[in-house]
Structure 1
């Protein structure tokens, strides 16, 4: 049975890599799909993995209509078996409703990939809707680690290495290592996210061994 599946986890756990691998595996089985993304760190209309993999994709905007897109493809004789939707946290709730309709009425598989909560530990509107509607939610097994060595579960936004808790929910950036005063992101365990203790605040370099105490 076709399903709406939501693959999730914190940053740096391999979501985009899995999205590209899923697309490759489906194509190897003779199926034809479409790849979508929104606000990828590599630029518009691109799905990029931190392993260096990249693929062109369709860029999703607020007024993009998944249902209309797929119907046009099918009525023009173009085969569509599945959809791969990366960075799904940046979609709108309406997009998620459209994707659920595609699964139910067109009998297509839809694979969504995205983080569950923002830098304030609050659900994105689209991920909230995915949790409400998806047939299955899969937590990715690759577990990034906090600077302390514990499993990282929370996404932190940083400016000049210091965690911030105010601002727009969506600000595109990459993992820690950006220049000063540029938005960056870091994954932390819950304890250090609550304490706002980033690697820079703790005085830990990524090249140093992981400490055993705070």
Structure 2
């Protein structure tokens, strides 16, 4: 290895995961701001963000335009064929919705083109099962970290599980992906493992006096 090679920074694939309502998308936007402030050229992407229109948005009101990744998008081509100057990093929100093949394409950007890739997403769906994209990221990523901001289950324990609630009842079947923020009949809550397994999305009502 010569001195030039020794000084060459090696890119990495990162995966940071958290349950819903943990500030994941807010951190995505913070990464984007911080790296831009350092003069780095980045590309922000999302897959099926709650806005559904190629925007990374957080529940505290922050938002930024992003490239929307389609189900068949080749991420290697998407990054390398852009007309702008070469980017040195890519940030992907909602990475759980990527296909395993798209995760492999992100790894190619890292290994063959020395582009840092930072992905953020949920580790598991409302059934407690890993998304295929998340499972592949856990295998391939150089850095896998849980965000150290845990929302609370109704019992007061850290909540790491996502649950879907339909008309007040927790459900374990249905489509994995529901676009956009949900309405009155369908919603999500975060639970500890115990109450997710028990199917208790809310605190028991106090006994009538």
TM-score with structure 1 setting the length: 0.88
The offset of 1:173, in angstroms, is: 4.9
Over 3 Å counting, the alpha-carbon distance change for 1:203 and 1:60 in structure 2 is farther
Partner residue, 2:4 = none
Please say if 1:202 is aligned against 2:204. Answer: yes
**Counterparts of 1:15 and 1:115, CA distance in 2:** 9
The aligned counterpart of 1:48 is 57
| Structure 1: segments with no counterpart, 5+ residues | 205-214
Q: Secondary structure at the match of 2:78?
A: helix
Q: What is the match of residue 6 of structure 2?
A: none
Q: Distance in 2 between matches of 1:54 and 1:104?
A: 30
- Say whether 1:185 aligns with 2:188: yes
Match of 2:152 among 145, 150, 156: 145
> Which of 55, 58, 75 lines up with 1:66 in the alignment?
75
> Equivalent of 1:118, from 119, 125, 143?
125
**What is the SS of the residue equivalent to 1:16?**
helix
Q: Is the contact between residue 170 and residue 201 of structure 2 (CA under 8 Å) also seen in structure 1?
A: yes
Counterpart of 1:128 (choices 120, 127, 135) is 135
Q: TM-score, normalised by structure 2?
A: 0.90
Contact 1:174 1:185 in 2 (8 A): no
Q: 163, 170, 174: which one pairs with 1:156?
A: 163
C-alpha distance in structure 2 between counterparts of 1:187 and 1:26, whole Å: 30
Structure 2 portions without partners, runs of 5+: 1-9
Contact 2:88 2:116 (C-alpha < 8 Å) held by counterparts = yes
